[in-house]
Structure formats: C-alpha cells, structure tokens
Structure 1
Amino acid sequence: MDLSFSREIVITSVLSVEPWIVPWTAKTIVQVILLWIASFWFVGSWIVPFLAYTAGFIKEYLTYRGHALYSLLTDVAEGVVGIALLHRCLAKFKPLSPDWFKFELKGKWQFDVGLGCLMFPVINQLSLVNLNLLPVLQSTPVSNTISVVEQSIVARDPVAMALYAVVVSVCAPIWDEIVFRGFLLPSLTKYMPVWCAILISSVAFALAHFNIQRMLPLVFLGMVMGSVFIRSRNLLPSMSLHSLWNAFVFLDLMK
C-alpha cells in the first residue's frame, strides 16, 4: 500500500472520529492532571527515598543493580499512586461508557502501530532541531539517574540493563498512556475538536517530562500516539507504540 495513501486514511479517520461522552467538567480534568504530576514528584522525591532510608538503604552506595531496582520500584510506586488518584477522582462518575480506558487485542491496530514506527526517524530529527534551537542548554549536566543508567550500560551489567528496560519500555508507557491518552485526550474532546485535543494533550505530555530540550520530539510523539489511540479508542495500540519508541531510544543509548 502506498504510504501517502495510508497517511491520508489515518488523517481522515482522525478528523471524522466522534468525541467521547465526558461526564466531568474542566475542573476535574485540571484536578486529575495536577494531582497526577504532584503525586509522581512527591512519591519519587520524598516517599520512596524516606522509606528506603528508614529501611537502611543509602542510594549513593547502591550497586548498578541496586540503582536499577530502586528505579523500577520507584516507578511502580509512582504509577500505582497515580492510578489510585485517577480512580478516586473519577469514582463518582461511574459507570463510564464502554470506550473509556479500553484495552483490546482485537482489531487491526497493528497497522497503525507499524505506521507510527515509520515516524521514529522524524522524531529523531526533531530532537536535533530542538537542540539546535537551544544550544546553551546542551551543556546542562544530566541528572544522577541518567548518569547511573549510562554507567550501567557502559559496565554492561545485564541485570541492571534489563531492569531499566522494564522501567522505560513497560512501566512508563502504561502510566503515561493511561493519563494522557486514556484520560486527558478524550476529556478535552468535550471542549474542542478532536485534532485540537490531540495537540493539547501532546503538549501536556511533553511538559510533564520537564525537559525543554525534548519538547519538540515529545509533542510530535504525543501527536502520533494520540492519532493511533483515536483511531481505535483502545489504549493497547498507543501503549505498544510508546513502548517501541522507548525501547528504540534505550537500544540506541546502548550502542
């Protein structure tokens, strides 16, 4: 099938999709997003470090594998708390219509995921464009977490690398897709056209990463994943695409 024709099919189906039935207002939308971001920060920066310190674990003295396990447990804790908050905020609106937070294997969404993967080189180019637009920030020191990941890769510790791979290719796609594609994007269709909801939710997704050097590629990635999600109203395709992108970046880092 001609690639340009395939893109036209995807664009047409995205523009013609029906908005979701959204029982909550903008107040709930803002509340959920702010609580989600705050909970990730609070759990990752305060709760988990405090519990680790109380249990006698000092992060600075952990091995590569210890750091990787710490990162995995932190990510799981952040995600579980975030999902619990989302559930609590939406509890009074249940039961929701069947097309909310849907996970289905059936359907022809694999084609959309494959088409989305063809956008990876474009996302890579946008990363370079973003860095060229903000050259001063290229010298900004990376965080300790990234440094430890890179050290583990250099050391070729297979267990540590496997644990980090689970964090970036399994955990992160699940949490991000549930809130940004599963909740935020459909919620926004109550107030704006679908294409605009895809754009706004993608900008929010990029901002939530707190990395100005990655804004352009993250916004574009969010738009691709949003389009894939909209086509099927199914979170599994966007999660799969998100996972493949993160795996692609992680494998590239390992070179």
Structure 2
Amino acid sequence: MSTSTTTPCFHSLSPPNSRVRVLKNPNPRLIQFSFNPTLPLLTAKPYTSPTNKWRFLCLRDEESSSAIPDSEFVEDKLSEELVKPGFNQINGVKKDWISRLRKVTDALFGAEPWTVPWTAKTIVQVMLLWIASFWLVGSWVVPFLAHTAGFRKESLTYRGQALYSLLTDVAEGLAGIALLHRCLTRFHPLPSDWFKFTLEGKWQFDVGLGCLMFPLVNRLSQVNLNLWPILPSTPVTVSSVEQSIVARDPVAMALYAVVVSVCAPIWEEIVFRGFLLPSLTKYMPVWCSILVSSVAFALAHFNMQRMLPLIFLGVVMGAVFARSRNLLPSMLLHSLWNAFVFLDLMK
C-alpha cells in the first residue's frame, strides 16, 4: 500500500473489516501507521458516517489532542500542510500565469475601445471615398495637370520623375486628409484621444521593439513569394525609384527618400491607424480591429506578393498605436521601416 501527496485528502472506501488508527508520530514530518498481524490491513479507529460508509480523514486522534502542547500543535499543522496535495498550488500558479498573460495582452493591444461617435455607414463611406480619391488623383488629376503643363512622365529625367512622384504623393495625401476632415466635420468636437499627435508618453521602447521586427518582416516577404510566386508571364518592371538608385542620382534619391519616409507614413497612418482602427473598436475587440485594419492596409498596396509582410507590419504598428493612443509612434515606426527598405535597395 503506497501513499501519494498528489491525491485529494479525502478518500471514500467501502466498509472494511479492519480498523485504522492514526498514531502520533514523534517526527512531525512523517505519518506512520501501526500494523496488526491479526487484522487484514491496518489497525484503525472507525468513523461512521450517516450514510454508513467508511472515510479516511486526515485528522489527528482526538484522544491525544488534549495532551499536545501548543508548540507541538503548530508543528502538527505544519506537517499536515506539508503532506497536503499540491493540486491546488499548481492550479493557483496556472491561474496566476494566465492572469499575467491576460494583463500583458490587454496592455499590448489596449483593453479599452475608443469612443466612436459615428456608425459603420460612415466608416465604409470614408474608406470608399478615400480609395476613389487616391485613384482619381494619382491616375487622372496629376497626369492631366502634367500633360496640360507640357510634361510627359515617360520623358522626364530621374530627378523629374522623382519630383513627379513627390507631387503625386503629396496631392493624394492632402486629398485623403481633406476628405476625412469633411466626412467627420458633423461629429466635431471629437474625443480627446482621436488623431492624437504628441511627444509625450512612454512609447520609445515600443518603437525600438518594433524595429527589431524588421528582419522578420523581410523573412515573411520570402515566405509570401514562395506561397504566391510571380507568374512567368508577368513582365518584370523596374520602378523609377530603383532606376534612380542604379543611376546614383543624389537629388532623385533624396526626393524619393522624402516620399517613402515622410509623406507616405503620415497620410497612411492617419487613415489606417488614426481613423479605421479606432472606428472598428465600436464593433469588435481592439485586437481584432488591429488585425482587420492591418489586412486593409496590406490590400491598399495592391501587391499580393507582399501581403504577409504588410499585414504583419500593420499589426506591429497597430499595436504600438493602440498602446500609446498616439499617431507619432506609429508614424515614426512606419517611416523607419520605409527607410530600412530604401537603404536596403541602395546596397
């Protein structure tokens, strides 16, 4: 017969013919049983319950309890605590870790949703109008104005193409921000945590941690290419940015650096992190809003070969924004990522 400290303290047994008695042990850390060869198992003191069943109780013998000094009583209680099963302690540790993990998750993704004064209709309206304005300005308005002024993009020099890209990006960004402002005018004044931009707060560590994710984003790019390879029939094109880098034109490279590291992060973060992510928290948890806005951010780049890295990057920037409720950290992280890619192209 063996005993285990991991089993419960109370055991139900069918009525035995033996009698069990728990004897006081001089060593408080051990419990001994007195064996009687004339009895089937152990000499015992029976305990009769109302249901006429036997129970083995982890209690001291009442006959000898009155003679035990207070110090020995404390030692006996300690010995009983030592032999108690650790099941409750293990459960307590698990619950403690789960509670800590939940606190970290809530702190990472922002436990409290934003106060959203508009409905899903406004969210869809703003995003559709933004996409339409982006396409209209970039594909029609700017080319028409350039053609009217006597310029053709194909005939421009590297510096001319870089300036053209800068003006197009600025026009698209201003149109999108103006449209967003126009759609939300009727909801003014907005709550204080909307479109917040400040140097205050402890967000520097989050931005640094996000920068450590850049190699993983690059790795996801390769995984994405393996899952969604470029078709052989797809023509290989070289962007004007890559052409200017190959030509080593410093002015053109500086203009492109402004486009990718300053302009694009500002208006993209205002739309996707400043507006879309908080708006979605009216209908879903914050973590889900981060994921959905990240998918929308990736789709807006119209490049299936970069979906996975862009989604992951959107999640990182969304988490930084949700923790700080500040657009500056996510803009800075976005700018650093674009600069990282731009410098990688220059190698």
Asked if Structure 1 and Structure 2 have the same fold, meaning a TM-score greater than 0.5 normalized by the shorter chain, the answer is yes
Q: SS of 1:135's equivalent?
A: coil
- Cα distance in 2 for partners of 1:155, 1:9 equals 52
| Deviation at residue 149 of structure 1 after TM alignment | 1.3
What are structure 1's unaligned runs of at least 5 residues? 1-6
Of 219, 222, 246 in structure 1, the residue corresponding to residue 311 of structure 2 is: 219
Deviation string 1:199-239 (CA, Å, 9 cap, x unpaired) is 00000000011100000000000000000000010000000
Q: Which residue of 2 aligns with 1:162?
A: 254
Query: Higher relative contact order by CA 8 Å / sep ≥ 6: 1 or 2?
Result: 1
RMSD value over aligned CA atoms? 1.6
Q: Which residue of 2 aligns with 1:77?
A: 171
- Cα distance in 1 for partners of 2:317, 2:247 equals 33
Larger CA deviation: 236-245 vs 130-139: 130-139
Q: Which residue of 2 aligns with 1:124?
A: 218
Of 93, 96, 99 in structure 1, the residue corresponding to residue 187 of structure 2 is: 93
Q: Does 1:31 align with 2:146?
A: no
Q: Structure 2 length normalisation: TM-score?
A: 0.69
Q: Which residue of 1 aligns with 2:74?
A: none
| Deviation at residue 134 of structure 1 after TM alignment | 1.2
Q: Structure 2 vs 1, CA of residues 139 and 133 (structure 1 numbering), >3 Å: closer, same or farther?
A: farther
Letter of the structure 1 residue corresponding to residue 196 of structure 2: K
Q: Does 1:185 align with 2:185?
A: no
Letter of the structure 2 residue corresponding to residue 39 of structure 1: S
Q: Does 1:11 align with 2:117?
A: no
Q: Structure 2 vs 1, CA of residues 254 and 9 (structure 1 numbering), >3 Å: closer, same or farther?
A: farther
What are structure 2's unaligned runs of at least 5 residues? 1-100
**Higher CA-based Rg:** 2
- Cα distance in 1 for partners of 2:306, 2:109 equals 27
Q: Which residue of 2 aligns with 1:3?
A: none
Q: Which residue of 2 aligns with 1:4?
A: none
Bigger helix share: 1
Of 227, 233, 246 in structure 1, the residue corresponding to residue 338 of structure 2 is: 246
Q: Structure 1 length normalisation: TM-score?
A: 0.93
Q: Which residue of 2 aligns with 1:201?
A: 293
- Cα distance in 2 for partners of 1:122, 1:12 equals 24
Letter of the structure 2 residue corresponding to residue 115 of structure 1: L
